[in-house]
């Protein structure tokens, strides 16, 4: 039986990575997603996870589809599973 991989830190890593790659600060991303900057901080620290609606908003802010965003999460989860 393989170990369960927690999704929150994966989401955190991907959001922060995409944000930095696109040279956005947390305020920019928050404004694009119509949320407070503190929510983005919570996401990036893995303290919370976005709702499905917010996944769509986040993906739109990064100019990708929600399915591309979820695929990134899935690929990172698979990579982590392979490392273990």
Give the up-direction half-sphere exposure of residue 35: CA atoms within 13 A in the CB hemisphere: 19
Both tokens of 38, joined, read 């503190």
CA gap 16, 2 in Å, rounded: 27
Give tens-digit pLDDT for 3-33: 566 899 999 999 999 999 999 999 999 999 9
- The CA-based diameter of the chain, rounded to the nearest angstrom, is 42
Q: Which domains does the chain have, with CATH numbers?
A: 7-83 (1.10.260.40)
Residue 13 and residue 76 in contact, taking contact as beta carbons nearer than 8 Å: yes
**66 three-class SS:** helix
With a threshold of 0.95, does the pTM exceed it? Answer: no
């Amino acid at each position: 039986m393989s170990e369960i991989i927690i999704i929150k830190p994966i989401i955190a890593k991907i959001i922060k990575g995409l944000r930095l790659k696109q040279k956005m600060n947390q305020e920019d991303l928050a404004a694009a997603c119509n949320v407070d900057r503190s929510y983005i901080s919570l996401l990036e620290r893995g303290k919370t996870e976005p709702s499905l609606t917010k996944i769509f908003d986040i993906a739109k802010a990064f100019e990708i589809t929600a399915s591309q965003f979820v695929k990134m999460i899935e690929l990172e989860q698979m990579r982590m599973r392979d490392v273990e």
